[in-house]
Amino acid sequence: MMAEHLKSGLSAVERSEEDARTREIVETTLSDIEKRGDEAVRALSEKFDGYAPEAFRLSESDVEALVAKVPASDLDDIRFAQAQVRAFAEAQRASMRDIEIETEPGVLLGHKNIPVQSVGCYVPGGKFPMVASAHMSVLTASVAGVPRITAATPPFKGEPNPAVIAAMHLGGAHEIYCLGGIQAVGAMAIGTETIAPVHMLVGPGNAFVAEAKRQLFGRVGIDLFAGPTETMVIADETVDAEMCATDLIGQAEHGYNSPAVLVTNSRRLAEDTLAEIERILAILPTADTAAKSWADYGEVIVCDDYDEMLRVADEIASEHVQVMTDRDDWFLENMTSYGALFLGPRTNVANGDKVIGTNHTLPTKKAGRYTGGLWVGKFLKTHSYQKVLTNEAAARIGAYGSRLSMLEGFVGHAEQCNLRVRRYGGINVPYGEAAPRRDADE
């Protein structure tokens, strides 16, 4: 039997039509920013956020005043969350080592991990102030050693959100802008009269922000395609419908287009979860958003067995995957395509979103098939180098390089190698010919 859908969301065609509309809007907007710079950014901010201050960049005194507005208890919680994120990021950084090895006598090869020199961190916040996104991007970039960290977040209710600004500041941002949406990521990547362009964009966002990052990729680096939140619950009858429904709807409240999928081998659990979701939506303060997401993007899939659950889950490649079964570690060992796993009923996606320490900027739209999420390594570039220390090594490697270049028809390449064979090996290789073999090369 094939997996059965007790509930489906919008069809692939309907979703692609929505993606096409988003793509067109973003392309036009980025073109406007490139042509008109600050003028376009200001007009867009006024249009979408009703916000057009004298300067979008916050001064040191602006930042200090905003941080002072955050209650001490909230600052304590922010510091606790940042300590968890920092500890995990530092452990990850320690796992990345520079190396140097001698592959042949006199031949040294190595690599260095060098921080990206400037990063633009986008922190969503128009509908919900995403304090935690500052930890995940700004603080992680700081641990990586990025020397210029620019952070941007939209105004919340017409002004900078103090808690978000505090998290950016405590995380190590060097420049903070109260600017949102396409205009923020566009300005950071393209540059304007007052905003110097960065080398890389990171951070989650809505469909428009994610599409802007996609279109800007190449001009700048990006962390990954981190669009609207996706969540999946993989569950069997070891848990109940309340647990499943709460974890699905808890993530659906992110936005109107946040997919939430239940994959189970229990029809009873599937049906009970559908009913429980309706109960929760009747009492949830953010039900307007969550109900729209659930109606258009919610799915309930009943599978025959655990193997089929695994196949379905890997095919969907969801951003967040909550696993609550009698074999959670089996899914950890066998799943290959996802953003992050949340194993067992004692943890949940909100832990990962806010505090536990793993990064919450994760791949969406099936990108988990080819990349993991944001982590300290995303801010580091691994660059290789080589040294040849002796005349003998220069001649020996050069002779191989000469012959292999001629094998491919690259005479100019061969001459680069031949010059070293002549100078350091004392062998008079005729111009444009392959270096001869020596007995030691046989």
Ligand-binding site membership of 122 (annotated) = yes
The first and second tokens of residue 64, run together, are 């200090």
User: Helix or strand or coil: residue 321?
Assistant: strand
Q: Which of 189, 191, 231, 193 is closest to 214 using CA atoms? A: 189
Helices (H), 128-201: 131-134, 140-144, 162-171, 181-190
The length of the chain in residues reads 442
Ligand-binding site membership of 382 (annotated) = no
The first and second tokens of residue 249, run together, are 């709807």
- With 0-12 CB in 10 A as exposed, 13-18 as middle and 19+ as buried, what is 15? middle
Ligand-binding site membership of 183 (annotated) = yes
Active site residue 319: yes
Ligand-binding site membership of 413 (annotated) = yes
Phi, psi for residue 356 in degrees, rounded to 5? -70, -25
**Active-site residue (options: 169, 320, 360, 415):** 320
Cα–Cα distance measured from residue 234 to residue 323, given in angstroms and rounded to the nearest whole number? 5
Ligand-binding site membership of 320 (annotated) = yes
Residue 144 near residue 380, CB atoms below 8 Å: yes
Please tell me the number of Cα atoms within 13 Å of 350 on its side-chain side: 11
Cα–Cα distance measured from residue 393 to residue 424, given in angstroms and rounded to the nearest whole number? 9
The first and second tokens of residue 438, run together, are 């020596």
Q: Which residue has the tokens 């081998």?
A: 265
Cα–Cα distance measured from residue 317 to residue 337, given in angstroms and rounded to the nearest whole number? 5
Cα–Cα distance measured from residue 320 to residue 394, given in angstroms and rounded to the nearest whole number? 52
Active site residue 199: no
Cα–Cα distance measured from residue 77 to residue 64, given in angstroms and rounded to the nearest whole number? 18
Ligand-binding site membership of 360 (annotated) = no
**Active-site residue (options: 253, 276, 319, 415):** 319
Active site residues: 319-320
Positions at the binding site: 122, 183, 206, 229, 251, 254, 320, 353, 408, 413
Positions at the binding site for substrate: 229, 251, 254, 320, 353, 408, 413
Positions at the binding site for NAD(+): 122, 183, 206
Positions at the binding site for Zn(2+): 251, 254, 353, 413
